Structure 1
């Protein structure tokens, strides 16, 4: 069994340094539309099949194509209605396959962060050099097609390795310098941003990206009906909003344009957005801005608190 990679310490929720959000908001709210590109017949990976169906996997491929053809605009209109700028978890091959989608997002000043190149090509089995090249390629594509320096990363199909965070931080610093506010969505361990320890000792943060609120997990894995998913989003918000009165929390809704944007599901999502954004003391923002604010205002105090607790645990009373 491999050792813990050591990205973060055990850090109890209670008693942490207080997080304050802009304008005195209790909760930072962001939506992460996963805008992805899937190949009908991708290169085989011995550790994971891209499709559960025999080739050609038309059902799985077609619904994802539907998302980019139809669902994307439908979701974009709803987010725009409630003043939400998407933070796009982008399969960067989309820049070549569907540049019109990239243009629509860029026109609305949405953030773009890397979700790899294709969502049918996994990190599993890659050498460190191969993964570095994939990460760098995706970041360069975002900059080339949008003018943005990529600040965030979510491994393609969540297929991260023990080196992913180190490689992303290092590539990001080379391409964008030290001030981009780098963050990961690949860790699901908290409801507040947390500092991450890397081999380079660069400032790096994990931003809450909830699998529990992810529409694919809800609809495909847990088989939840739309009205129940909408209520889950509201219930999740209510609890984090309550706790945010003491110290700022984060709520993310990760979406997919072939899930939440289906006609029979959109109403529940829209009602949840209306409910959440109807609270005046909610910071409706992006992943990049959450990371930047946390690093600028709370990173050092968090690192110090973690170190102090580690010393107490190590030294004893």
Structure 2
């Protein structure tokens, strides 16, 4: 994986279509965790658990598994209601097993026409497990994309690795599969090009671990007021900077975290706040990638 180091002051002005100032993407992560795995090692939990302690993969972890399932059964539907009431389309990411095991959630997003980004096969499975076995990593990616096509009826455009744990070869492999963007890199507020060994560039559309409900609520312990304050502060600062060159804002959301009743107000208040700005581009990652591929020469 290679990308040029071009610091922000050394770039030309970035412009979004229609003179929009700030591209905003609110991400709902559709994630599925196998209850058990045939291993004696501690399986990666996909974020902090609601109950502490670690169990081996073959041991069923009831409180942490059912806490996450709350997001699929209840929380995500609460979030859907909020986005529909605001008239704002989220960008969804999807584990392949989410489509296989929780099809109703995926079908809802498909019917609404919302963006859905492939998000690995299963949330506990990390591509870094295959860093020294490229063929195994390729097989996981291809199977994820096969399920994606079969269950959404769409051709995939981009990729987000489980827990952002890609390998140095991931961008090469997704380029070979015809994808045009990755969300795995956290190092910018604007898109940029990542070179691949095939010669076909991949657009990096940064995700975020900072403005993310796991970080804000689970690690920092914010309440609804605190969560809204973080979301608004991130928006306001980027919006101010975007007066000279356009910016991109992503907020990462998980249905079992922000979908809890006592946290939902942080999301609905932010939606109400951001909708007041006429020059915000409520867009998809695919739209950003396609625009950037056409216009990046004027930027970097």
TM-score with structure 1 setting the length: 0.87
Count of matched residue pairs: 289
Mapped to 1, the partners of 2:80 and 2:42 lie a distance apart of 35
Q: SS at the partner of 1:188?
A: coil
Equivalent residue number for residue 139 of structure 2: 133
Determine which of 151, 154, 159 is the counterpart of 2:160: 154
Equivalent residue number for residue 301 of structure 1: 298
Mapped to 2, the partners of 1:247 and 1:167 lie a distance apart of 32
Provide structure 2 residue ranges, at least 5 long, that are not aligned to the other structure. none
Residues 66-215 of structure 1 mapped to structure 2, 5 A cutoff: 66-126=70-130, 127-171=133-177, 173=178, 182-215=180-213
Question: Could you say what the CA RMSD is over the residues aligned between the two structures, in angstroms?
Answer: 1.7
Deviations along 1:90-133, whole A, 9 cap, x unmatched?
11111111111111001110111111111011223321011101
Mapped to 1, the partners of 2:224 and 2:39 lie a distance apart of 34
Identify the range of structure 1 (50-59 vs 96-105) with the bigger mean alpha-carbon deviation.
Answer: 50-59
Q: SS at the partner of 2:252?
A: strand
Q: Contact conserved, 1:29 with 1:285, CA < 8 A, in 2?
A: yes
Equivalent residue number for residue 64 of structure 1: 68
Mapped to 2, the partners of 1:249 and 1:239 lie a distance apart of 10
Provide structure 1 residue ranges, at least 5 long, that are not aligned to the other structure. 174-179, 306-317
Residues 273-284 of structure 1 mapped to structure 2, 5 A cutoff: 273-284=271-282
Distance change (3 Å), C-alpha of 1:47 and 1:123: farther
Deviations along 1:150-182, whole A, 9 cap, x unmatched?
1121111222111111111112x2xxxxxx6x1
Equivalent residue number for residue 30 of structure 1: 25
Q: Contact conserved, 2:96 with 2:118, CA < 8 A, in 1?
A: yes
Return the offset for 1:46.
4.9
Q: Contact conserved, 2:93 with 2:117, CA < 8 A, in 1?
A: yes
Distance change (3 Å), C-alpha of 1:224 and 1:185: same
TM-score with structure 2 setting the length: 0.91
